[in-house]
A and B are shown apart, each in its own frame.
Chain A
Amino acid sequence: MKITEKEVRYVAGLANLKLTDAEVARFQADLDGILEHVERLNEIDTSNVEPMAQVLFDAAATATLRADVPVPPLGNQAGLANAPQPGAGYFKVPKVIER
Chain B
Amino acid sequence: MNIPTLTIDSVRQGLLGRLFSAGELAAEALRFAEAENPKTGAYLHFSPERALAAARQVDERMARGEEPGPLAGVPVAVKDVIVTKGIRTTCGSKLLANYIPPYDATAIVRIEQAGGILIGKTNCDEFAMGSSTENSAFGPVRNPMAPDRVPGGSSGGSAAAVAQGTAVVALGSDTGGSIRQPASFCGVVGVTPTYGRVSRYGLTAFASSLDHIGPLARSVKDAATLLSVIAGRDPRDSTSAEAPVADYTAALTGDVKGLKLGLPREYLKDLTSETSQLIFKAVDVLKGLGCEVREISLPATDYAIASYYIIATAEASSNLARYDGVRYTFRSEHSETLQDMYRNTRGEGFGAECKRRIMLGTYVLSAGYYDAYYLKAQKVRGLIARDFANAFEEVDAVVAPVSPFPAFKLGEKVDDPLAMYLSDIYTITGSLAGIPCMSVPCGNTAGGLPVGMQILTRHFGETTMFRLADAYERNAGVLE
- Same complex for A and B? Answer yes
Q: Kindly state whether residue A1 has any CB partner on chain B within 8 Å.
A: no
**A46-74 contacts to B (CB < 8 Å):** 46, 49-55, 57, 59-60, 63-67, 74
| Interchain CB contact under 8 A, B194 and A57 | yes
Q: Kindly state whether residue B187 has any CB partner on chain A within 8 Å.
A: no
Q: Kindly state whether residue B408 has any CB partner on chain A within 8 Å.
A: no
Contact string, A27-59, partner B, CB cutoff 8 A, digits 1/0?
100110110011111111010011111110101
| Interchain CB contact under 8 A, A40 and B379 | no
Would A46 and B379 be within 8 Å (CB), given that A17-B343, A17-B347 are in contact?
A: yes
| Interchain CB contact under 8 A, A94 and B303 | no
Q: Kindly state whether residue A12 has any CB partner on chain B within 8 Å.
A: yes
Within 8 Å by CB of A18, from B347, B378, B383, B459, lies B347
Q: What distance in Å separates the Cβ of B347 from its nearest Cβ neighbour in chain A?
A: 3
Question: Which B residues lie within 8 Å of A82 (CB)?
Answer: 98-100, 102, 327-329
| Interchain CB contact under 8 A, A46 and B376 | yes
Would A15 and B383 be within 8 Å (CB), given that A38-B306, A41-B303, A79-B102 are in contact?
A: no
A11, B363: Cα distance in complex, Å = 6
- Per DSSP, chain A at the interface is loop
Question: Which B residues lie within 8 Å of A19 (CB)?
Answer: 347, 355
Q: Kindly state whether residue B466 has any CB partner on chain A within 8 Å.
A: no
Interface size on A, residues (CB 8 A): 55
| Interchain CB contact under 8 A, B382 and A51 | yes
Question: Which A residues lie within 8 Å of B195 (CB)?
Answer: 55
| Interchain CB contact under 8 A, B421 and A34 | yes
Would A44 and B380 be within 8 Å (CB), given that A57-B196, A94-B337 are in contact?
A: yes
Q: What distance in Å separates the Cβ of B211 from its nearest Cβ neighbour in chain A?
A: 11
What are 17 A-B residue pairs whose CB atoms fall within 8 Å in the complex?
A16-B346, A18-B347, A30-B417, A34-B360, A50-B382, A54-B209, A55-B433, A57-B194, A59-B241, A66-B235, A79-B327, A82-B100, A82-B102, A82-B327, A84-B325, A84-B331, A91-B327
Known contacts A34-B417, A91-B327; 11 further A-B pairs (Cβ under 8 A): A17-B350, A26-B352, A37-B306, A37-B418, A41-B306, A50-B379, A53-B378, A54-B239, A64-B239, A94-B341, A96-B338
Which 8 A-B pairs rank lowest in CB-CB distance, beginning with the nearest?
A18-B347, A55-B434, A51-B378, A46-B379, A84-B331, A52-B382, A78-B102, A18-B343
